[in-house]
């Protein structure tokens, strides 16, 4: 073991880590003005009724965006209870979690190296490396930071157990490991990581060290099986990415080299990194990487280079789930996968370069400047989804995934004409990519090109692997509804419900169809169920309120309209109908009609003149 690295420093260096912790929110300060990100933030937080209602039972019995993570979901629910939809405070919460983790990295490294200088240096790398921006800036990536927090705490208590052999520390470590697994399934690698920690501590491998990790492995297997199920259910692990096993092994070697190079030179960072074009070359190179790595590990074991062996082991064990041995998605690497492995890279930097204590201050300042300036600049790119996708398209012009996402976001923001060229390019790159057809169809609907939209939604259905994309059936059904072809609209809506019985928008569409057919009983039933499924959708309350009005049930009508305007205070049409309902109930309609006119709902102008002169 390199004893020089274990030299205890008794000087008052703790002030350094305090300085680093105070610097974290300054480097990430631009995130306080950032908005939410369209990937996952809506599903996990903004539109998640379970989060809004703090539904603990749901958190432990359901999975979200491919993850079973009840602890993380409770954290999101707590944030929503405190901050609601404030992007400023939600980003502040992420920065706080990252700051906590920076301190925990410092503590873990100090327990390993017994030196505050080295611990601060690794904490600086972890805190300010530009690849950390993705995790810190992406609100729904908080699961990465939460599981890391408990992961590091578990390691801390494991080290204390090794040093003292107190069973209580082992029990605490095991409990924290379970919490980490329930925060994000990625934590299942911790028992293997503990072997790397053993090497870092020069704790010899023995029968005892293996047996004491068996409880961790049992939990890992259980959580791992759950994770495979949930990610398969939510289509994150699918046969769409049909990569042979031999290719996965090669790509995994490519991934390791990619992350090493990005650690050393974190330039040209991107939201996505597509698979390399010359696949045969890179797969072959990946095999050479593994051969070299195995040879290196054998040499390290023989020469008892425990620190290097432990650092490399820490890196590999925390990458093993994300280097495409189990393929998922259309990208091969991602910045957020580097979050925890950066601890290992920091340790590796120390032991390989044999950094001396007298060099620490200069290196620390250099790293803060080198990494901090880049990180500060990259946070600006994360100010909103458009800026993020635009930056990525510049770097990855052939990424149909990002071209589609940029087109989708522009459509959501009411800019369909700007969206169409990006969606066209996505389809040109990936002609069978059903999501691009679906999103182009939505853009065409906004442009009132219904015939073209119908064609795109039909293509989305046909190109979907199972042909059961419920969203496309609902979208096509809505076009038929707008074209007054109610029979086809009903057929598509019923097909969507056959795929997903709890599809709120399909139920709402059927409610609209039967409302137009004057079958008020069926219409009310479908409206009721759509509201039960999505109680925060203001449009659902408006249509049910109008139906109540048709049936002369004006009190119920007004109640729904009150709920509608509380959910969406800028819904001009809802204020108009509130005024109409109040006229029928012999109440004063003027404030509501004025509000409707102010919000641009022109139909309210004449009633305002009639009743409120």
Q: Which fold, 387-611?
A: 1.25.40
Three-point CA angle 406, 271, 190, nearest 5°: 135
| 19 vs 33: CA distance, rounded Å | 24
CA distance between the termini of the chain: 90
Determine which of 118-127, 135-144, 277-286, 561-570 has the lowest per-residue pLDDT on average: 277-286
Residue found by looking up tokens 């004057």 in the block? 518
Closest to 370 in 3D by CA, of 121, 5, 138: 121
Give yes or no for residue 8 having a pLDDT over 50: no
Q: Taking a C-beta distance cutoff of 8 angstroms, is the pair 508, 543 a contact?
A: yes
The whole-number pLDDT of residue 325 equals: 74
Share of the chain above pLDDT 70, in %: 95
Give yes or no for residue 387 having a pLDDT over 80: yes
pLDDT per residue as tens digits for the range 264-285: 999 999 999 988 888 889 999 9
Residues 397-410 have a mean pLDDT of 94
Name the DSSP class of 182: T
Give yes or no for residue 289 having a pLDDT over 90: yes
In three-state form (DSSP H/G/I as H, E/B as E, the rest C), the secondary structure along 284-308 is HHHHHHHHHHHHHHHHHHHCCCHHH
Give yes or no for residue 423 having a pLDDT over 90: yes
pLDDT band at 241 (very low <50, low <70, confident <90, very high): low
The whole-number pLDDT of residue 2 equals: 45
Give yes or no for residue 240 having a pLDDT over 60: no
The whole-number pLDDT of residue 109 equals: 95
Give yes or no for residue 239 having a pLDDT over 70: no
**DSSP state string for 444-469:** HHHTT-HHHHHHHHHHHHHHSTTS--
pLDDT band at 9 (very low <50, low <70, confident <90, very high): very low
pLDDT per residue as tens digits for the range 295-332: 988 988 888 888 888 999 999 999 988 887 776 666 78
For residue 577, give both structure tokens: 């109908």
With 0.85 as the threshold, say if the pTM is over it: yes
Buried-exposed string 32-67: b where 16+ CB fall within 10 A, e elsewhere: eebbbbbbbbeebbbebebbbeebeebbeeebbbbb
pLDDT per residue as tens digits for the range 445-468: 999 999 999 999 999 999 987 778
Give yes or no for residue 7 having a pLDDT over 50: no
Give yes or no for residue 107 having a pLDDT over 90: yes
Residue 609: φ, ψ to 5°: -65, -35
Report the SS3 class of residue 333. strand
pLDDT per residue as tens digits for the range 503-559: 999 999 999 999 999 999 999 999 999 999 999 899 999 999 999 999 999 999 999
Determine which of 54-68, 221-235, 580-594 has the lowest per-residue pLDDT on average: 221-235
Q: What share of residues in the chain are helix, strand, coil (percent, to 5)? A: 75, 0, 25
CA distances, 382 to each of 376, 379, 471 (Å): 11, 5, 28
Instruction: Name the residue ranges covered by the structural domains of the chain.
Output: 12-385, 387-611
CA distances, 463 to each of 335, 458, 471 (Å): 30, 9, 13
The whole-number pLDDT of residue 96 equals: 97
Residue found by looking up tokens 């873990």 in the block? 108
| 17 vs 5: CA distance, rounded Å | 19
Residues 102-125 have a mean pLDDT of 93
Closest to 512 in 3D by CA, of 522, 501, 498: 522
pLDDT per residue as tens digits for the range 183-223: 999 999 999 999 999 988 887 778 888 899 999 999 999 99
CB atoms within 10 A of CB 14: 13
For residue 56, give both structure tokens: 């603990």
**DSSP state string for 199-265:** HHTT----HHHHHTTHHHHHHHHHHHHHHHHHHHHTTSS-TTS---HHHHHHHHHHHHHHHHHHHH-
Closest to 374 in 3D by CA, of 30, 33, 103, 21: 30
Give yes or no for residue 129 having a pLDDT over 90: yes
pLDDT per residue as tens digits for the range 544-559: 999 999 999 999 999 9
| 534 vs 220: CA distance, rounded Å | 35
């Amino acid at each position: 073991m390199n004893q020089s690295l274990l030299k205890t420093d008794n000087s008052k260096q703790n002030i350094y880590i305090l300085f680093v912790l105070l610097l974290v929110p300054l480097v990430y300060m631009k995130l306080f003005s950032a908005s939410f990100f369209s990937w996952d933030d809506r599903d996990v937080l903004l539109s998640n009724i379970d989060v809004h209602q703090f539904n603990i039972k749901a958190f432990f019995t359901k999975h979200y965006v491919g993850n079973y993570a009840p602890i993380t979901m409770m954290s999101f629910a707590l944030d929503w209870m405190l901050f609601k939809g404030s992007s400023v405070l939600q980003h502040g919460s992420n920065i706080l979690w990252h700051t906590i983790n920076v301190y925990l990295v410092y503590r873990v490294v100090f327990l390993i190296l017994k030196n505050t200088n080295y611990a601060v240096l690794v904490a600086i790398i972890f805190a300010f490396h530009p690849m950390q921006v993705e995790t810190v800036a992406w609100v729904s990536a908080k699961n990465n930071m939460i599981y890391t927090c408990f992961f590091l705490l578990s390691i801390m208590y494991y080290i204390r157990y090794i040093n003292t052999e107190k069973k209580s520390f082992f029990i605490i470590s095991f409990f924290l490991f379970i919490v980490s697994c329930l925060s994000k399934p990625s934590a299942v690698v911790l028992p293997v990581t503990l072997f790397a920690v053993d090497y870092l501590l020069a704790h010899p491998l023995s029968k005892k060290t293996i047996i004491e990790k068996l409880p961790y492995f049992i939990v890992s297997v259980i959580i791992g099986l759950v994770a495979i199920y949930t990610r398969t259910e939510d289509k994150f692990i699918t046969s769409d990415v049909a990569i042979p096993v031999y290719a996965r092994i090669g790509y995994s070697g490519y991934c390791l080299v990619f992350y090493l190079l990005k650690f050393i030179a974190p330039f040209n960072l991107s939201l996505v990194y597509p698979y390399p074009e010359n696949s045969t070359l890179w797969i072959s190179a990946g095999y050479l990487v593994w051969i070299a790595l195995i040879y290196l590990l054998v040499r390290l074991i023989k020469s008892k280079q425990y620190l290097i062996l432990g650092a490399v082991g820490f890196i590999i064990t925390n990458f093993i789930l994300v280097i495409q041995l189990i393929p998922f998605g259309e990208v091969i690497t991602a910045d957020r996968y580097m979050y925890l492995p950066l601890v290992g890279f920091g340790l590796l930097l120390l032991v390989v370069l044999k950094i001396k204590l007298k060099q620490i201050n200069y290196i620390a300042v250099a790293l803060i400047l080198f990494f901090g300036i880049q990180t500060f600049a990259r946070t600006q790119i994360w100010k909103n989804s458009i800026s993020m996708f635009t930056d990525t398209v510049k770097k990855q012009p052939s990424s149909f995934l990002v071209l589609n996402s940029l087109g989708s976001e522009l459509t959501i923001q009411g800019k369909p004409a700007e969206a169409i060229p990006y969606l066209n390019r996505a389809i040109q790159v990936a002609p069978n990519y059903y999501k691009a057809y679906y999103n182009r169809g939505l853009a065409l609907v906004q442009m009132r090109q219904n015939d073209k939209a119908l064609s795109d939604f039909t293509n989305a259905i046909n190109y979907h692997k199972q042909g059961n994309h419920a969203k496309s059936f609902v979208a096509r059904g809505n076009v038929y509804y707008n074209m007054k072809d109610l029979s086809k609209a009903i057929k598509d809506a019923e097909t969507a419900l056959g795929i997903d019985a709890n599809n709120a928008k399909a139920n709402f569409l059927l409610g609209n169809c039967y409302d137009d057919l004057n079958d008020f009983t069926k219409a009310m039933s479908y409206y009721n169920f759509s509201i039960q499924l999505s109680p925060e959708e203001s449009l659902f309350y408006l249509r049910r309120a109008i139906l109540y009005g048709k049936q002369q049930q004006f009190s119920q009508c007004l109640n729904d309209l009150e709920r509608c305007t509380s959910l969406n205070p800028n819904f001009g049409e809802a204020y108009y109908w509130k005024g109409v309902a109040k006229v029928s109930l012999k109440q004063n309609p003027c404030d509501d009609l004025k509000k409707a006119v102010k919000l641009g709902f022109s139909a309210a102008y004449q009633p305002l003149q009639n009743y409120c002169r």
